[in-house]
């Protein structure tokens, strides 16, 4: 019974028809995934690469890296970022990322979910633009941040984060989705306050914030929904609505001008579990327009059966280009038809 329920939740029956965009090509140098991607207002993209996650393939023993990609440069070449300061680069295992620009002085901070030795913690770096480097600031650990997947920064030391499992024991984490336990949550962290601010998710993956900073968007992964929460205070959220997306959506990127949501999704979760090279997981990009309206528009922008790109986890657009990242494989860049 549990297996049948999980097969339903994982959309095991879905088979994709290809829905391609023009002029797509793999981003040179990305071979071991770009699980999360986010972009500064000036077109500089940050890519979190090399994630090693229990139950998923890992094709490299090297530590993870953060790369930049200047989308205003026609060469489209990635650059590895140097990490400065007293930071253990050998165990770096980056997952979700978020950028924050301080209005006071324009300083840019990169928040990174890190899983050294399988643990969960959040690293805060300051971006040193002229060196394409990250200056290590601090590491944040807390018992409520026990299975962190994604993060959205809302201050120089404050953020919301999703936990994608309730249990920390490896066996219990594995069986948790099969039992359909909606016990995952969202945590707010600041130096003064740490607390769970939303719960009831059946694996909470991606999280992001609206351009006006009034709403949070959370991916309720196995329920195939995006949950909209209104921020009353930092630690008080109210449930607004849920939007069906028909796919297992991972990270969420928000267009800072239109407010549209861009989602990197797994169309068939069971294929992600089995990793059959002869029947690989596909990829899907979904866009949500007017999410706060009575009738949001949900559109499939791109889909592939795994022949071009495997297990998409993030999608984001800038200047007519769409970037698609994956959990453990390649990354793609395409021209966008808007």
Q: Mind telling me the catalytic residues?
A: 95
CA-to-CA distance for 189 and 153, rounded, in angstroms?
10
CA-to-CA distance for 253 and 24, rounded, in angstroms?
20
Task: Strand 34-39: give its sheet, edge to edge.
Answer: 34-39, 44-49, 65-70, 78-80
Closest CA to 113 of 61, 52, 166, 172: 52
Complete DSSP assignment for 267-299: S-HHHHHH--TTS---EEEEEEESTTSSS-EEE
Does the annotation list 102 as a binding residue? no
CA-to-CA distance for 15 and 280, rounded, in angstroms?
11
DSSP H/E element including 9: helix 2-9
Does the annotation list 61 as a binding residue? no
Query: Dihedral angle at the C-alpha atoms of 42, 28, 252, 262, nearest 10 degrees?
Result: 80
Does the annotation list 250 as a binding residue? yes
CA-to-CA distance for 64 and 252, rounded, in angstroms?
21
The burial of 113, by beta-carbon neighbours within 10 Å (0-12 exposed, 13-18 middle, 19 or more buried), is given as buried
Does the annotation list 42 as a binding residue? no
Backbone angles phi, psi at 46, to 5 degrees: -110, 130
Does the annotation list 150 as a binding residue? yes
Does the annotation list 131 as a binding residue? no
Does the annotation list 35 as a binding residue? yes
Does the annotation list 97 as a binding residue? yes
Q: Cite the annotated binding site for Ca(2+) by residue number.
A: 35-36, 97, 149-150, 205, 250-251
Q: Cite the annotated binding site by residue number.
A: 35-36, 97, 149-150, 205, 250-251
């Amino acid at each position: 019974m549990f297996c049948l329920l999980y097969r339903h939740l994982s959309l095991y029956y879905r088979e994709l028809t290809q829905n391609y965009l023009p002029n797509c090509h793999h981003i040179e140098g990305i071979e071991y995934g770009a699980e999360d991607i986010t972009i500064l207002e000036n077109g500089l993209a940050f890519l979190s690469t090399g994630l090693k996650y229990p139950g998923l393939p890992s094709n490299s023993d090297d530590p993870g890296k953060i790369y930049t990609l200047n989308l205003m440069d026609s060469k489209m070449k990635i650059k590895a970022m140097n990490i400065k300061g007293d930071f253990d680069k050998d165990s770096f295992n980056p997952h979700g990322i978020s950028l924050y620009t301080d209005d006071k002085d324009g300083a840019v901070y990169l928040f990174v979910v890190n899983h050294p030795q399988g643990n969960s913690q959040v690293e805060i770096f300051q971006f040193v633009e002229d060196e394409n480097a990250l200056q290590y600031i601090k590491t944040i650990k807390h018992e409520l941040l026990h299975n962190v997947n994604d993060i959205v920064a809302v201050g120089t030391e404050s953020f919301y984060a999703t936990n994608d499992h309730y249990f920390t024991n490896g066996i219990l984490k594995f069986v948790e989705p099969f039992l359909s336990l909606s016990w995952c949550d969202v945590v707010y962290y600041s130096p003064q306050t740490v607390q769970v601010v939303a719960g009831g998710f059946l694996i909470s993956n991606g999280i992001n914030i609206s351009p006006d900073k009034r709403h949070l968007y959370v991916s309720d992964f196995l329920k195939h929904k995006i949950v909209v929460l209104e921020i009353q205070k930092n630690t008080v959220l109210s449930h607004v609505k849920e939007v069906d997306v028909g796919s297992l959506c991972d990270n969420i990127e928000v267009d800072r001008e239109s407010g549209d949501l861009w989602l990197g999704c797994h169309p068939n979760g069971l294929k992600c579990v089995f990793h059959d090279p002869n029947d690989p997981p596909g990829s899907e990009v979904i866009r949500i327009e007017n999410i706060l309206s009575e009738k949001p528009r949900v559109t499939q922008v791109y889909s592939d059966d795994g022949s071009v790109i495997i297990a998409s986890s993030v999608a984001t657009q800038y200047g007519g280009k769409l970037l698609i990242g994956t959990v453990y494989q390649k990354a793609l860049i395409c021209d966008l038809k808007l």
